[in-house]
Amino acid sequence: MDRVFSKKTIASGLWAIPIVFLIRLIRPIILIRVGTFLSSRAGHFIADAAYQWIVNETKTKAKTFVIDLYWLDDWTCNVQWAKMVKRNLNVYRFVKYIYIWNNFIPGGSRNINVHGDSSSGSRDIGLTVGCNTERHMMSFFSEEEEEAKRWLRSKGWSDGQKFVCVLVRDDAYLDSEDKYLEYDWNYHDYRDSDILTYVPAMEWLADQGLIVLRMGKRMKKKVNSNHKNIIDYAFCKDRSDLLDIWLFANCNLCITTMTGLDRVSDIYNRPLMAINYLPLIDMYAWGNSLNYPKYLAWKDSNTLLTLREVLNNQYTDSDSYVNAGIDIINLSEYEITSAVQEFWHRVKGVWVETDEGIKKQKRLWDILTRNSKYMENNKYIHKNTQISSTLLFNHADFLK
């Protein structure tokens, strides 16, 4: 046991083991479950805690006799989100030791909260959050709201002015954060994009009067634009964990390559565009999202994969695409800008789908919903989940 547990954990057995047996004894009357969250990665931490908060809210209304207790690691990826989780869920340090001993002593599976451990890949496959139509979510304190708005005003924002968060993944964060240096993250390279290819789209949005914030904690390149409505937040010295969460929770648009913090916009029901990402089946099919993944092309013929071929080649590491003879093709500046324009027009309610576009959309969803791999990853599909029409017309053979 000494090689498995620390001295502190072993000492905790004096009080934790009796509690473990007590909570098992009272299970027929009150079910007490213990669990934690993968708080080192934003996507998992945000999605899992939001999921559990919704479950708890529903459970409270149903007056079921279930009590869920949680613990968090001392280090979390975002201090503000950790604060909000602690003030909305039953989070206590001592729960960690009850959790450890309950796992160690056989027979405690019913007392583990399986919803707080990323067991579903942190995907809302059952529409637990997506079907929360009002999307009432953990609230900010009034002083937090005012601090965030004060920061925005200092950057030129006017109260009521719409703003958009743009999050484009590169490898700077995982390669610079001490906690992650022991890992080789090169297998994730297929998810990276060049922020400079997004600048024309950002400037187009800025020309519409929106404040455009390039988000991120650590990024490689700065945004090469002098537009007064574009803020390179990732390189602001006064960025903060509070702003990270508040901006994504309150933005009017979220444009993302799907990389963690965008899940804040997802759970707060902000219109979200997932663009230049892979694999396709990882789309946020449970929410208000427009999707335009990267292209895949056969290396030997340089022809783009059809939708059916894409669905048969869904990989989560760079080497697998290479071994399958597939090149990954990032979207061009023009394609990104066209898709963003479509997104904004859809959000404004002025997008008009052509008859041909309607036929293509129907054909696409017929293919997706009949594909077992896709439906396994997306058990239910939200009514507002869409594939970009720009993609369907740019890639003429996509639906063959």
Q: What is the pLDDT of residue 117?
A: 44
Q: What is the pLDDT of residue 5?
A: 78
Contacts of 130 (CB under 8 A, 6+ apart): 124, 286, 287, 380, 382
Record the tokens describing residue 85, joined without a space.
């989780």
Q: What angle in degrees, to the nearest 10, is found between the helix axes of 333-348 and 199-207?
A: 30
- Name the DSSP class of 260: S
Q: What is the pLDDT of residue 60?
A: 57
140-to-83, 157, 215, 268, 278 alpha-carbon distances in Å: 10, 20, 20, 12, 32
Q: What is the pLDDT of residue 261?
A: 93
Which residues are bridge partners to 166 per DSSP? 214, 255
Report H helices in the chain.
7-25, 42-62, 79-88, 95-104, 142-154, 172-176, 199-207, 241-250, 262-267, 307-311, 318-323, 333-348, 355-369, 372-377, 389-394
Evaluate whether 228 touches 161 at the Cβ level (below 8 Å). Answer: no
Q: Between the CA atoms of 373, 335, 155 and 227, what dihedral angle is there, to the nearest 10 degrees? A: 170
In the chain, DSSP finds a helix count (H) and a strand count (E) of 15, 11
Evaluate whether 70 touches 90 at the Cβ level (below 8 Å). Answer: yes
Give residue for tokens 């071929």. 309
Record the tokens describing residue 204, joined without a space.
């187009």
- Cα Rg, the chain, nearest whole Å: 23
Q: What is the pLDDT of residue 186?
A: 59
Give residue for tokens 């002083």. 143
Burial class (CB in 10 A: 0-12, 13-18, 19+), 166: buried
Q: How far is 73 from 71, CA to CA, in rounded Å? A: 7
Record the tokens describing residue 250, joined without a space.
């309150």
Q: Write down all domains in the chain, each with its CATH number in brackets.
A: 7-116 (no CATH), 153-394 (3.40.50.2000)
Per-residue pLDDT of the chain (400 residues; tens, 9 = 90+): 444 678 899 999 999 999 999 999 999 999 999 999 999 989 889 989 988 888 777 765 555 688 999 999 999 999 999 999 999 999 999 999 999 999 999 999 999 986 544 455 666 655 455 555 445 689 999 999 999 999 999 999 999 999 999 999 987 755 555 554 455 555 568 889 999 999 999 999 999 999 999 999 889 899 999 999 999 999 999 999 999 999 999 999 999 999 889 999 999 999 999 999 999 988 888 888 999 999 999 999 999 999 999 999 999 899 999 999 999 999 999 999 999 999 999 999 999 999 999 999 999 999 999 999 898 888 778 888 999 999 999 999 999 9
DSSP 259-286: -STHHHHHHTT--EEEES-S-GGGS-TT
